Structure 1
Amino acid sequence: MGSKDLLEDFVKEALVAGQGKDDIAVALADAGWSETEIHDAVDSWTGAEPGMPPVPHPRPYVSARDAILYGLLFISLAVLCWHINQLGFGIIDHLVEDVADRTRGSSYLRWSIAVLVPFLPLFLVLDRRIYRQTREDPGQRRSLVRRWFASITLLLAVLALLGDFSASVYAALSGELTLRFILKALLVAITGLLVLGYYRGEIND
């Protein structure tokens, strides 16, 4: 039994014995438990009513189905972001000529389009399915898998924005801040901000 389970069992038994939550919190603090641990354990149960044992509050859960569903959503979103940027870079290269850079051909553009054709519908279908499921059953928003994938996605989006900003500062200091570079940096920034907006509020649900 882990320390969290041990703590929650103690709180339940104390509530059954008629102890108040404040008294339980004081006893746990005296025993050396942290404020966060005490808060989480005490809030895991409602107070015991006459003839009714303490009722557990809803808790986060893990399921294999969610791992597949949110894993596919995460992968499809990552693929979309990468290839949308690649396609955007190609369009920018075509519209903004640079005689010093003619190394990129059109084959990678065709590959990005080919990848987007299956992955964009996949992402939209998964997104719609998850939205419908969480609307019909709000309890599914407590999925730990969902929160983990959201956290990883937000981390990668923030890192992409920081890298984009750092590259822009370096280009400015080096005198290489061309129109083509600015447009590409803006595309990366917009993509990162859209991802942040898409996962807004996921962590605190």
Structure 2
Amino acid sequence: MRANDQLSDFVRDGLAAGADRPALRAALAAAGWTAPEIDEALAGWADTPGLPPVPRPSAYVSAREALLYGLLFISLGMVSWHVVVLGFGIIDSLIPDPYDPGYGGFGMRWSTSALIAFLPLFLFLNRRLNREGDESARQRSLARRWVASVTMLVAILVLLGDLVAVVYAFLSGDLTLRFAAKALLVALMGGLVFAYYRDEMDG
């Protein structure tokens, strides 16, 4: 039997025997269980008058959802990347630099093609996953939580890397209007991706 199963069984038996939650918490803490483990075990059971402890829904793993959320993660990444590439091309055309030609027509055509392919996929998956089940069920999906965690980690790293690049350019005297515009675009895209998933870490 796994340790978490033992902990859950102990809490269930204790509640069924009439023990109150503070007493169970104190006993588990004295036995060496950590506060998060105790909170999770106690939260797994609901007190209902006249009934034994009622189990609350727990997190679950679904291979189908892992596939869909994985595709959503990839499509969001592709859309974000190629929106930035297109933005760089537009900035290069609006703020030309004879010493740095920037992105050519091929890069912009490739990014446009990628957006035509991946943007509808992202919108479709986002709509489908948000319409399936209720919010409480979606919050219990481990696939959703993991994809959200990885996406937010990438977004934070992008924002930090963008900040480092701006500071370095400023200290080197290379912070031009063109560079600042590109850095602002990257920060905006990273912030949008972070905001998209910020609520996924709740629950």
Shorter-chain-normalised TM-score: which range?
over 0.9
Q: 117-126 or 100-109, which moves further after superposition? A: 100-109
| 1:133-180 residue CA offsets vs partner (Å, 9 max, x unmatched) | 25x463122101101100111111111011001100100111111111
Whether the 8 Å CA contact 2:92–2:178 is kept in 1: the answer is yes
Alignment of structure 1 residues 183-202 onto 2, 5 Å: 183-202=181-200
**In structure 2, what is the equivalent of residue 10 of structure 1?**
10
1:199 alignment partner, SS class: helix
**TM-score (norm: length of structure 2):** 0.94
Change (3 A) 1:36 1:141: closer
2:96 alignment partner, SS class: coil
2:97 alignment partner, SS class: coil
Whether the 8 Å CA contact 2:69–2:144 is kept in 1: the answer is yes
2:172 is the alignment partner of 1:174 = yes
Whether the 8 Å CA contact 2:60–2:140 is kept in 1: the answer is yes
Q: Supply the AA of the counterpart residue of 2:31.
A: A
Distance 2:162 2:140 in 1: 33
| 1:72-126 residue CA offsets vs partner (Å, 9 max, x unmatched) | 1100000011111111111111121101112642111111111110100010111
Whether the 8 Å CA contact 2:85–2:111 is kept in 1: the answer is yes
**TM-score (norm: length of structure 1):** 0.93
How far off its partner does 1:187 sit? 0.4
Q: Supply the AA of the counterpart residue of 1:127.
A: N
Distance 1:147 1:25 in 2: 27
Whether the 8 Å CA contact 1:16–1:48 is kept in 2: the answer is no
**What percentage of aligned pairs have identical amino acids?**
53
Q: Which aligned segments of 4 or more residues in structure 1 are displaced greater than 4 angstroms?
A: none
* Aligned residues between the structures: 203
How far off its partner does 1:59 sit? 1.2
Whether the 8 Å CA contact 2:88–2:103 is kept in 1: the answer is no
Q: Supply the AA of the counterpart residue of 2:161.
A: G
Q: Supply the AA of the counterpart residue of 2:9.
A: D
The alignment's C-alpha RMSD in Å is 1.5
Q: Which runs of 5+ in 2 are unaligned?
A: none
Change (3 A) 1:138 1:43: closer
Whether the 8 Å CA contact 1:21–1:47 is kept in 2: the answer is no
Q: Which runs of 5+ in 1 are unaligned?
A: none
Q: Supply the AA of the counterpart residue of 2:130.
A: Y
2:37 alignment partner, SS class: helix
Whether the 8 Å CA contact 1:154–1:199 is kept in 2: the answer is yes
